[in-house]
Structure 1
Amino acid sequence: MDFLLERMTRQGLARQGTGQPAEVAASAFGLQAQDAAAARLGVRARSSGVDEAGVVQACEVQRSVVRTWLMRATVHLVAAEDLRWMAALFGPMIERRFANVRWRELGIDEGVIEAATPLAHEVLTGRQLTRREFAAELADRGIRLAEDPSAPTHLLMALSCRGVTCRAGDQGRDSTFALLDEWVPSGPAPADPMAELARRYFRAFGPATAADFTAWSGLPSGAAISAIRDELTEVGLHGRRGWTLGTVEPAPGVRLLPMFDNYLIGYRDRTGMLDPAVHGRIYVGGVVKATVLCDGRVLGIWRLQRSGRSVTVRVAPFERFTRRHLDELERERADLERFFGRPVGLTVDG
C-alpha cells in the first residue's frame, strides 16, 4: 500500500537520516515521551547521526529538545523552538480536560494554581526539582497538596499548561522540572498556531484524514484544516477524504519502533497498518508495545532484554519472516549496538 510507504517516509523511518534530535523532533513533529527511554529510541529509529548519550545531552545540556504535556494531554519530546507556541495552544485543552474532575478531586483549583505560580518562580529559579522535591518546597511555604501521589504531577501539569514550567533533566527514573523561561529561550511564534499545527501534522503524517488529525491532537479539525486548505493535496483514504502536504518519494524499509511511537499513535484509522487480529497484542491498556515495522505494516513486537552490559533484542513475529526481514533486522540490531555503545544480540522467536 503506497500510502503506508508514504507515511513511513514522512516520519523519517524509511530512510534513516543523520539529523540531530531537534531536527528529528521537528520533522516528526514530536515524539511521544512519557517513557523517556522510548523517546530516545524514537530518535534512533529516525536518525543514525546520534547515539543515546547524544539524545540525553540534547535534552539536558543543549536543551534543543524538551518534554512537556502537549497533544492529547500526554508528554511529548519536541524541538525547543516549537515548545512555547505548542504549549500555549494545547494548554487550554488540557485544563478543560482535567480541571473539573481530576484536579477538583485533588484540590487543585484556580486559587491553588494562582498561589503556586509565584512560589514556583521562587523555588525553581536556578534549580531543577523532582515532583516530590517541588511539593516539599511548596509545603514549606504553606501549600500542602493532597496525599495522592499524583497530586504534584497534576499541579506541575497545570503550571506547564500556563507556560510556567517544563520538564528538565532526569534524576534516575525521576523527571525534574524547571522554569520554562529559564530552560528554553523565547522565540518567534507562528502567526496562526492552529494553522501551523495542521500544516506540520499533514506534512509529517500524511496521507491522513480530519479524524486522524483530531485523534492525534485532541483538538477539532475543521478550522485547522480550513486555514491551510489551499496548501493541501486531497487524496482518497479508506473511502474517506484525506490530505497530504508537500511531496515525498515513498521508500520501503524495516524499522524497530519503540513503545508509544508516533507511527502507531498518529492515526484514528489504522487500516492496512496492522492486522485487526493482532491489535490487542500491540495496544494493551494504556501501553503501545514496541513493534517491527516493514514497509509501513506492523509484522511483530519486540522488547529489550538487558544483562550487565549486554542487550538482546527479542522479536516475536506475527507472521513468518523472509530472508529480507531477517537481513533488515540484523541491520537494525547493528544500529542499536551503535546507539547504545554496547553489544546487542538478536533473537527471533519461532
Structure 2
Amino acid sequence: MDFLLERMTRQGLTRRGTDTVAQVAVAAAGLQAQDAAAARLGVRARTSSPDEAAVVEAIDAERSVARPWLMRATVHLVAASDARWLVALFGPMIERRFTGVRWRQLGIDQALVDKAIPLTREILAGRQLTRHQLAAELAERGIRPADDPQAATHLLLALSCRGVTCRARDSGRESTFALLEEWVPAAPAPADPMAELARRYFRAFGPATAADFTTWSGLPSGAAIRAVRDELTEVEFDGRRGWTLGAVEPVPALRLLPMFDNYLIGYRDRTGMLDPARYGQVYVGGIIKATVVRDGRVIGSWRLDRSGRSATIRITPFERFTRSDKQQLDREHADLERFLGRPVTLAVEDGRG
C-alpha cells in the first residue's frame, strides 16, 4: 500500500542521512523513550551517523535532547530546544488525566504538589537525583504521598507537568532527575504551540486522520487541525479521509524498528500495517514489540539479546522472507554492529505458523 510506504518515508526510515540526534527527534515529532535502549535504537533506524555512545552523549553531556513526559503522558526524546514549550503544552492535559482517581489513590493532591515545588527546587539545585533519592529527601521535609511503589514516579510526573523537573542522565538502569530550568536551556517557543505540534505530526506521520492525531498526542484534534488547515493537503487513503503536510518521494526499505517505535504508535487504525491475526504478537499488554517492517508493513518481530561484549538479533518472520528481504536484513545487521560497536549475530527463527 503506497500510503504505508509514504508514512515510513516521512518517519525518516527509508533514506537514512547523517542527521544529529536532535534533528532526528524534530523530524520524527519526538521518539517514544520510556525504554531508554529502545529510544536509542529508534534514532539508529532514522540516521546513519551517530552510534549508541553518541546518542548517550547527546542526552547526558551535550544535552541537545531531553526526555520529558509528553504525548499520551509517556516519555519522549525531543530536541532540547523544544522541551520547554512541549511541557507547557502537554502538562495541563496530563494533570487533568491523573488528578482524579489515580492521584487521589496515591495521596497526591494540589496542596501536596504546591508544597513540593519549592522544596524540590531547593533539593535539586545543581544536582541530579533518582526518583527514590528525591522522594526520600522530600519525605524528610514532610512530603509523604501514599505508601505505594508508584507514588514517587507519579509525584515526579506532577512536578514535570508544572515544568519543575525533567529526566537528566541515566544512572545504570535508573534515570536521574534535574530542574528543567537548569538541565534544558531556554529557547524561543513557537507563536502557536498547538499549530506547531500539528505541523510536525502531519509532516512526520501523514497521511493521517484527525483520530490518528488524537491517538498519538492524547489531545483533541479539532483546534490543532484548524490552526494549520490551510497548510495541509487533504488526501483519500485506505477508504479514509486525512491530511499530509509537504511532499515526499516514497522509497522502498526494510528496517528493524525497536520496541515502542513511533511508526507502530502514531495511528488509531493499524490494520493496513499489520495483519490482524498477528496483532497479539506485536501489541502485548502495554508492550509494543520490536518489529521488522518492509515498505510500511510489519513482516516479523525481533529482539536484541546483549551478552558481554557481543549481541544477537533474533528475528521471528511472519511470512517467508524474499531474497531482497534477506539482503536488506544483512545491511540492517551490519548497521546494528556499527551502532552498538560490538559483534552481532543474526538468527532467523521459524515463526510463520
- How would you bin the TM-score normalised by the shorter chain? over 0.9
1:113 partnered with 2:110 = no
**Contact 1:209–1:237 (CA<8 Å) still a contact in 2?**
no
| Secondary structure at 1:163 match in 2 | coil
Cα-to-partner distance string for 1:119-170 (whole Å, 9 max, x where unaligned): 1110000000001100111111121232111111101100100100100011
1:98 alignment counterpart: 98
1:318 alignment counterpart: 318
**Contact 2:315–2:348 (CA<8 Å) still a contact in 1?**
yes
1:303 alignment counterpart: 303
1:220 alignment counterpart: 220
Cα distance between partner residues in 1 of 2:131 and 2:171: 11
Q: Which consecutive segments of 4 or more residues in structure 1 shift more than 4 A? A: none
Unmatched 5+ stretches in structure 1: none
TM-score (normalised: structure 2) = 0.98
Cα distance between partner residues in 2 of 1:175 and 1:149: 16
Cα distance between partner residues in 1 of 2:325 and 2:239: 31
**How big is the shift at 1:30?**
0.5
1:22 alignment counterpart: 22
1:283 alignment counterpart: 283
Cα-to-partner distance string for 1:40-99 (whole Å, 9 max, x where unaligned): 000000011000000001001011111111000011111111111111111111001101
Cα distance between partner residues in 1 of 2:171 and 2:214: 34
Cα-to-partner distance string for 1:21-47 (whole Å, 9 max, x where unaligned): 100001001000000000000000001
| Secondary structure at 2:272 match in 1 | coil
**How big is the shift at 1:271?**
2.9
| Secondary structure at 1:208 match in 2 | coil
| Secondary structure at 2:342 match in 1 | coil
- Which structure 2 residues correspond to residues 14-53 of structure 1 after superposition, within 5 A? 14-53=14-53
Cα distance between partner residues in 1 of 2:170 and 2:306: 21
Cα distance between partner residues in 2 of 1:167 and 1:4: 33
Cα-to-partner distance string for 1:183-241 (whole Å, 9 max, x where unaligned): 01111111111111111100010000000000000111011101111100000023221
- Which structure 2 residues correspond to residues 234-313 of structure 1 after superposition, within 5 A? 234-313=234-313
Cα distance between partner residues in 1 of 2:271 and 2:17: 27
TM-score (normalised: structure 1) = 0.99
1:179 alignment counterpart: 179
**How big is the shift at 1:308?**
2.0
Identity of aligned residues (%): 74
Cα distance between partner residues in 2 of 1:152 and 1:237: 44
What is the total number of aligned residue pairs between the two structures? 350
What letter is aligned with 2:339?
F
**Contact 1:202–1:244 (CA<8 Å) still a contact in 2?**
yes
| Secondary structure at 1:46 match in 2 | coil
Unmatched 5+ stretches in structure 2: none
Cα distance between partner residues in 2 of 1:9 and 1:194: 24
**Contact 2:105–2:146 (CA<8 Å) still a contact in 1?**
no
Cα distance between partner residues in 2 of 1:98 and 1:223: 23
| Secondary structure at 2:78 match in 1 | strand
